[in-house]
Each structure stands twice: as C-alpha cells, then as structure tokens.
Amino acid sequence: MAGMLGGLLGIGGGILVMPILRFIVGLEPAYAAGTCVVAVFFTTLGGSFKHFKLGNIDFHSILPVIIAGLVSSLIFSMLFVYFAQKDVWLDVATGVVFSFVALRMLWEGIADYLHKISEPNLGTGVHGSMLAKISIGGVAGVLPGLLGIGTGAVLVPAFAFALNAPIKIAIGSSLACFSLNALVSSALKLSQGFVQINILIPLCIGTLIGSQLGATLNDRLSSPFLKILFGMVFVYVACKYLIVFGRM
C-alpha cells in the first residue's frame, strides 16, 4: 500500500510507513525514521523508473534540485544522531510539515474542480531559475536527512506551484530527486544503527512492487483528483502526529 501511494503521488510512501512503524509497530521516532527512509528508497526507485518510461521526468531540468538535495541530505543525516535524542520534536516537526502541505494541496485541488481549470501544456520539464531549484532542493533534503520522510512533502507542491510544472511531471520529478536523497540518508542511518533489518526486508519487497502499480494509476487519474487525494492523506498523518504531541 505504501509503495502504491508513493508511486501514485510522488511522496515516497513514507507518510504511510512512518505512522505504522511509529504507532502500530511501536518503534521509537529515531528508529522509525531510519527504517522508513530505507524502505521508501525502494518505492522511489521503482516509481522513478516507471515515471521515466511514462515521460514524466526530465533529468536535465531537475539536476540542480538533485545536487542541492544530496548535499542537504548528507549534512542533516550526519546531524541525525543529535536530534534522535529529542524524540518529541521529531514528531512535532513531521506533523507541521504534513499540515502545511495538506492545506495547500487541498486548496489547489478543490479550486481546480470548482473552476474547471484545465492544466496548461507546460511541456515535460521543471521550469524556474537555477537559484530557485537549488533552494528547493536544499530545503527538501532536510526531510529524509532529519525526519526520515520523503521529499515529496516539499518537492511536489514546489514543482507544481513555484516552478509551474504539471502535477504529473511534479510527481515523477519528485520521485527521481528523492531516490538519490534517500540513498544518501539510508546509507548513513544504516551506519548509525537506526534501521531495524527484520522489519525492513518485507517492507522493501512490498514497496518496490506497489510503486509500479501506483505509477501506472497516476497516468490514468486527473490532476485535481491527485491534488485532493494528496491533501487528504497528509491531513490524516499530520493530525496523528500533532495529537500525540498534544497528549504529552
């Protein structure tokens, strides 16, 4: 299910894996983050390949985002050992990120439906200045490095709204960028000992298979529907994290 969601929405599937590892399996935030980022790396890898075949990824146009994201992921992955000792704030930061993205995506998706706006033909790449792309990549790299979640929380809305990319191009490009960020973050979290291998292996198998199905579904669904679905999923996860914090 996480793989399918990641391939469909370009969010890595971590928004489903993280709450399950955190609240159902019962892992501490640091171990949930470490195990999650390795598992969703396989989602992004499989989803990226499928989206590339569908023509939703132009690597030349997102290269600055990829490079900035790799550097940022590396820095914050090295800082993860320090923040792992502050479990509560890892939960709060995750909830805040999800809340912001959920509201923005819901607003845009509903507006598209109400006004029946057809998405203009903006080509197959991600537009915008070099500075904008580097800034977006740098911010996005914080998420897998520090929180163990996908960069889709930043990249999908940033590509779609700030850089004027069609939503399906935004989703495919997000997966491609995150696959490399997740590789760096995964390697460091494995070396830091924050990955539960016995939980990781079946997760990886499932996410890799599901991501292929999700990417295929993405090609058949409308852009407004994808935005609303994206927002609804993030509302649920944000509430879950912030409610837990409020009880403490």
Q: List the chain domain ranges.
A: 2-246
> Is 56:168 a contact under the CB 8 Å cutoff?
yes
CB atoms within 10 A of CB 7: 34
Per-residue model confidence (pLDDT) at position 178:
82
What percent of the chain has pLDDT above 90?
7
Name the nearest CA neighbour of 79 among 190, 188, 241: 188
Query: Distance between CA atoms of 195 and 110, rounded to whole angstroms?
Result: 39
Express each pLDDT in 188-207 by its tens digit. Answer: 889 988 999 999 888 888 87
Helices marked H in 116-247: 130-140, 142, 152-157, 167-192, 197-218, 223-246
Please report where in the chains the tokens 């494995």 appear, as a residue.
190
Does 77 have pLDDT greater than 70?
Answer: yes
Does 229 have pLDDT greater than 60?
Answer: yes
- Assign 67 a pLDDT band (cuts: 50, 70, 90): very high
DSSP string of 49-76, one letter each residue: HHHHHTT---HHHHHHHHHHHHHHHHHH
Does 117 have pLDDT greater than 60?
Answer: no
Q: Which two tokens stand for residue 172?
A: 């495919």
Out of 49-53, 151-155, 180-184, 202-206, pick the least confident.
Answer: 151-155
Does 120 have pLDDT greater than 60?
Answer: no
pTM for this model (two decimals): 0.70
Query: Distance between CA atoms of 113 and 115, rounded to whole angstroms?
Result: 6
Does 56 have pLDDT greater than 60?
Answer: yes
Residue 122 is classified by DSSP as -
Does 134 have pLDDT greater than 90?
Answer: yes
Does 116 have pLDDT greater than 60?
Answer: no
Q: Which residues of 111-134 are buried (b: 16+ CB within 10 A; e: fewer)?
A: ebeeeeeeeeeeebbbebeeebbb
- Assign 149 a pLDDT band (cuts: 50, 70, 90): low
Per-residue model confidence (pLDDT) at position 25:
86
- Assign 106 a pLDDT band (cuts: 50, 70, 90): confident
Express each pLDDT in 4-44 by its tens digit. Answer: 776 666 665 676 787 788 878 888 888 888 898 888 787 77
Higher pLDDT, 178 or 15: 178
For residue 229, give the amino acid letter. Answer: L
- Rounded alpha-carbon distances, angstroms, from residue 205 to 60, 92, 171, 202, 216: 30, 29, 22, 5, 18
State the Cα torsion 172-175-179-181 to the nearest 10°: 120
Name the nearest CA neighbour of 230 among 110, 59, 144: 110
For residue 23, give the amino acid letter. Answer: F
Higher pLDDT, 150 or 189: 189
> Is 222:118 a contact under the CB 8 Å cutoff?
no
Does 123 have pLDDT greater than 60?
Answer: no
Does 59 have pLDDT greater than 70?
Answer: yes
CB-based contacts of 3, cutoff 8 Å, min separation 6: 13, 42, 43, 46, 47, 206, 207, 208, 209, 210, 211, 212, 213, 214
- Assign 66 a pLDDT band (cuts: 50, 70, 90): very high
